Every structure is written in structure tokens, then in C-alpha cells.
């Protein structure tokens, strides 16, 4: 139990650091991997009409979205 608790606390600390990092940088300048641009291009090719600025959970659950 102590090892699991220590691991969970460490994971939480890492998550806080990463969250602070991605929250403090303008997203258009944030690069998390070397292939971010390729990932985004493929995402846009697959989901051309999806608005990522405002996500509506009900719209994502619709039959057309599925």
C-alpha cells in the first residue's frame, strides 16, 4: 500500500507540472511531440467539419457524429 500511495502521489505531481505547462503557453506555440503538425493534419483530414473551439457533448453523441 505504501508503494502504491507513493506512486500515486508522484503521478499527481507530474500531472500538475504538465497541466501547468500546457496551461501557461499559447496553444499555437505549444509543441508536445516532433510530429504534432502531422497528427493535427491527419486529424483535420479525418474530421474536417469538427469545431474544436467549442465542443458540444450532445453533438458528439449524435448519430451523424458516430
**Spatial separation of the C-alpha atoms in residues 4 and 45, rounded to whole Å:** 42
The domain locations on the chain are: 1-51
What does residue 54 show for φ and ψ, rounded to 5 degrees? -140, 110
pLDDT in tens, the chain (66 residues): 899 999 999 999 999 998 998 899 888 888 888 999 999 999 999 988 888 888 888 888 888 877
Amino acid at each position: 500500500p505504501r508503494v502504491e500511495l507513493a506512486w500515486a502521489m508522484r503521478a499527481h505531481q507530474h500531472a500538475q507540472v504538465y497541466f501547468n505547462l500546457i496551461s501557461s503557453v499559447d496553444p499555437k506555440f505549444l509543441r508536445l511531440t516532433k510530429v504534432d503538425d502531422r497528427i493535427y493534419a491527419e486529424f483535420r483530414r479525418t474530421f474536417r467539419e469538427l469545431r474544436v473551439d467549442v465542443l458540444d457533448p450532445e453533438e458528439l453523441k449524435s448519430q451523424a457524429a458516430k
